[in-house]
Amino acid sequence: MSSVTRGARPWPLVVTAALAAGTLTGCTFGDNRAVPITVLVPAADPALVAAATEMVDLIGYRGLEVRAVDDPVTALDGGAGLRIAVGGGRTCVECYRLDGVLGDPEAWVVDGGGLLGAQYGLAHALENLGFRFRHPFATYVPAVPRFDPGAQASLYQIHTPAVRVRGFQLHTLHPIEAYDAFWEPGEANLAAARRILDWTIKNRGNYVQWVGLDDINDPARHAPWQAHTRAILDAAHARGLRIGVNIQLYGQSNLQRAFDLWDGDDSGETVAEALAGRLPLITDGLPFDVYDLSFGEFFGAEPARFIADVNATAAALRQHAPAAEMHGLIHVGATHRVEYEGEDLLYYMLVKHADPAIVPDVHTVMFYDLYEDAGGAYHHDDFDEHRAYLLERMRDRKPAVYLPETAYWVAFDVSVPLALPLYVRTRWYDLDRLRADPAAMGGPLDGHILFSTGWEWGYWLHDYTALRASFETPGDYQTLIRDAYGEDLAPAVDLVSDLIELEHRTLLANRLVAYLAGRDGAIDIGRNLDIVSQPDRITFADLAELDGVERARFITNVLIPLDDLANRLDDLDARAAALALPDGRWTRELRDGLAITALRARFAATAYQLAVEIVDRNVDAYAARRAQLEDVLHRARAVVARRHGDLHHPDRDRLTRRGANVTFYPYGYLFMADGLCYWERELRQLEVMAELGTPTIPDCLF
């Protein structure tokens, strides 16, 4: 229903009319009535009226309506029910303040800094009533919306963003929820994109970017895509968001299907010719605020050529999109180094020698942070060089973006599947350390953009907490979880915190994540070429090559800790089952995540125990150990079936099944998880190792 009315009708008339029409549903209040909540906004501010209306409509709670009035604060007087007066008159940028009304505990005033500040304040006021904007496609609606006395601390203070640019890079190179919403034309997909934009604002973001794909080189694809994209841009700008698109420079480094600007010398085009032909595809009629240039992975150009080509791209962009910013991605890859002007540096750091107007986006991967061990990811033991460059930019008060990941997806986390709320800790830890790092000399972090790759299996929590931490960074990450979990999941805060600390000690510090993560065929091929992305591990085949001393060391350093991890996760799983939590999808998702992670750790420990027994030719133990492995796999299948039948996203099959799309992957991002492909692959590898025939080993890639 439309939730905007004009004027100041008394609440009883509004409620009576709605009940007569049968439009008030949802939470109960008194005699099966929804709790009425009125949001009052100034009629003289049509942008705020429209923004507040969309915020409210997308919650899906029918007792909530927006009313455009001449003076929202005055209209509070004499009203009934829960009322929120919203204005955007503060002079500070994107700030807001929440005030109570003397003698009226059911009325609040939101004083926002501009359009976004007003929306942030409205979202916060609704959160004080118990709503939680956890997932783009699912809002938590409290049983009875009411003012939380514990939220008094949020009143009478100005909430100001700690980081200027806060938002997402939705990694639409992968078949995630955002791929359809932002890349495939269609009314339903446009509606989904608007939901994601709205969710970003509700969680205090001001920027959204996604990754371009190369199908738009086809004119038949380009025209509808352009119209779809323009509609998204218009919707975003109307809400106050800035929007960017990520594109690649070199086709030779384009290992997936990104939109790139030049196919290389063999294409027969010069860089200038390629730019003239391709830039208009993503600039004409499309007022993006940012064009973010990437350079692929593992392969690159000679340094002087790289800098010249980047500068040529910057110059061309100024012609085609003079109002837009250009960013350059500082990727990772410890062995991908170059010599330039006497300096040995990471290849991607060449960006700092290019056009000074280019804003660097400093990237890290997986759940690793800028300060701790990096596990060998992309051959990095740490990301010290990335941290040093970011701190240098902060010190010099030059704009720079930190671009960490909240999921890696490919064979590492949600596609296994694993629940890794460790991401919450490391994303908070980066922000907490950067703001206090003496090397920054008090300079602020200008941008914090999250590389986002899917929201199911509780991964919404990573984006929710990291985005909010860039607006206001608390003194501990538990505060962020407590806020996200609200009233229904509050009993689980300590449990999840204990899980995070366990994952930090074992998976990050002790590098055991390599044994819980999956490995697909491409990872194994890449290893032979010394191309490493996710942390490497001793494989079953490696184990057979170890001598007795090395095998004993493996048992001490890996196998025994893996078994201990599995035991500790079993304990946490049992605690989760015993918690007094309400029945519902949020509870089921939490418990399923813990269960599958415990089972994955048990599967890994059992599989490697079996591998050791095969190497030792302990035939008597093989059958029993194999039976244990099959039992764990059987239980894991039940958990996955339960979870994938209960997703937040409305189209389960789109995420879990094969299906057409223009990414590199012909399926949804939960497809490998749905079939437990990485688990099955390891089981088949053990069968080959035990010489039990020649089973087909799935590559878990296609």
Residue 363 and residue 464: Cα distance in Å, rounded?
19
> At CA 409, angle to CA 404 and CA 415, rounded to 5?
150
Mean pLDDT along residues 365-392: 98
Per-residue pLDDT for 529 more than 90?
no
Hey, which residues does 242 pair with through a beta bridge? Answer: 207
- Listed in order, strand segments (DSSP E) in 20-164 are 37-42, 64-69, 82-87, 96-101, 104-112, 132-135, 138-140, 158-159
pLDDT in tens, 559-572: 999 999 999 999 99
Per-residue pLDDT for 479 more than 80?
yes
What are the domain boundaries of the chain? 4-159, 165-487, 502-689
Per-residue pLDDT for 160 more than 90?
yes
Per-residue pLDDT for 1 more than 60?
no
Region of 145 on the Ramachandran plot (φ > 0 left; ψ -120 to 50 alpha; else beta):
beta
564-575: b or e for each residue (b if 16 or more CB lie within 10 Å)? Answer: ebbebbbebbee
Predicted pLDDT at 298: 57
pLDDT in tens, 205-264: 999 999 999 999 999 999 999 999 999 999 999 999 999 999 999 887 777 899 999 988
Q: Name the DSSP class of 36.
A: P
Per-residue pLDDT for 149 more than 80?
no
Tokens 């991605």 -> residue: 329
Predicted pLDDT at 403: 98
pLDDT in tens, 404-431: 999 999 999 999 999 999 999 999 999 9
Q: Strand, coil or helix: what is 549?
A: helix
Q: Which two tokens stand for residue 372?
A: 């701790």
- Listed in order, strand segments (DSSP E) in 238-331 are 242-250, 260-262, 290-294, 325-330
Confidence of residue 299 (pLDDT cuts 50, 70, 90): low
Confidence of residue 501 (pLDDT cuts 50, 70, 90): very high
Residue 392 and residue 288: Cα distance in Å, rounded?
28
Residue 373 and residue 586: Cα distance in Å, rounded?
32
Residue 128 and residue 156: Cα distance in Å, rounded?
14
Residue 39 and residue 4: Cα distance in Å, rounded?
9
Confidence of residue 647 (pLDDT cuts 50, 70, 90): very high
Q: Strand, coil or helix: what is 201?
A: helix
Closest by Cα among 645, 691, 437, 426 to 544: 691
Predicted pLDDT at 296: 72
Per-residue pLDDT for 592 more than 70?
yes
Asked if 201 and 116 count as a contact pair (C-beta separation under 8 A), the reply is yes
pLDDT in tens, 54-111: 999 999 998 999 999 999 999 999 788 899 999 988 889 999 999 998 888 899 999 9
**What proportion of the chain, given as a percentage, has pLDDT over 70?**
95
Of 620 and 1, more confident? 620
CB atoms within 10 A of CB 482: 18
Predicted pLDDT at 123: 98
Predicted pLDDT at 619: 81
Tokens 């491409």 -> residue: 522
DSSP calls for 397-437: T---EEE-BS---TTTSTTTT---THHHHHHHHHHHHHHH-
Predicted pLDDT at 533: 92
Predicted pLDDT at 14: 27
CB atoms within 10 A of CB 366: 29
Confidence of residue 194 (pLDDT cuts 50, 70, 90): very high
CATH topology classification for 4-159: Chitobiase; domain 2 (3.30.379)
Mean pLDDT along residues 490-509: 98
Helix, strand, coil percentages, rounded to 5, for the chain? 50, 15, 35
Residue 246 and residue 440: Cα distance in Å, rounded?
28
117, 316, 364, 434, 462 from 371: Cα distances, Å: 32, 37, 11, 9, 19
Per-residue pLDDT for 112 more than 80?
yes
The CA dihedral of 72, 74, 77, 83, to the nearest 10 degrees, is: 10
117, 166, 435 from 94: Cα distances, Å: 4, 11, 20
Sign, CA dihedral 435-439-440-441, equals positive
Asked if 535 and 511 count as a contact pair (C-beta separation under 8 A), the reply is yes
Tokens 């299996």 -> residue: 457
Predicted pLDDT at 438: 97
For the chain, the straight-line distance linking the first and the last C-alpha, in angstroms and rounded, comes to 43
Q: Strand, coil or helix: what is 396?
A: coil
Per-residue pLDDT for 31 more than 50?
no
Confidence of residue 542 (pLDDT cuts 50, 70, 90): very high
Asked if 588 and 639 count as a contact pair (C-beta separation under 8 A), the reply is no
Per-residue pLDDT for 604 more than 90?
yes
Paired sense of beta strands 337-340 and 343-346, if any: antiparallel
CA 221 to chain CA mean position, Å: 28
Mean pLDDT along residues 421-443: 97
**What proportion of the chain, given as a percentage, has pLDDT over 90?**
85
Mean pLDDT rounded to a whole number for the chain: 92
Mean pLDDT along residues 514-543: 93
Predicted pLDDT at 6: 38
pLDDT in tens, 128-146: 999 999 999 999 999 999 8
Q: Strand, coil or helix: what is 245?
A: strand
Paired sense of beta strands 158-159 and 138-140, if any: unpaired
Residue 562 and residue 528: Cα distance in Å, rounded?
26
pLDDT in tens, 282-294: 999 999 999 999 9
Predicted pLDDT at 692: 79
Per-residue pLDDT for 25 more than 50?
no
CATH superfamily of 165-487: Glycosidases (3.20.20.80)
Predicted pLDDT at 103: 85
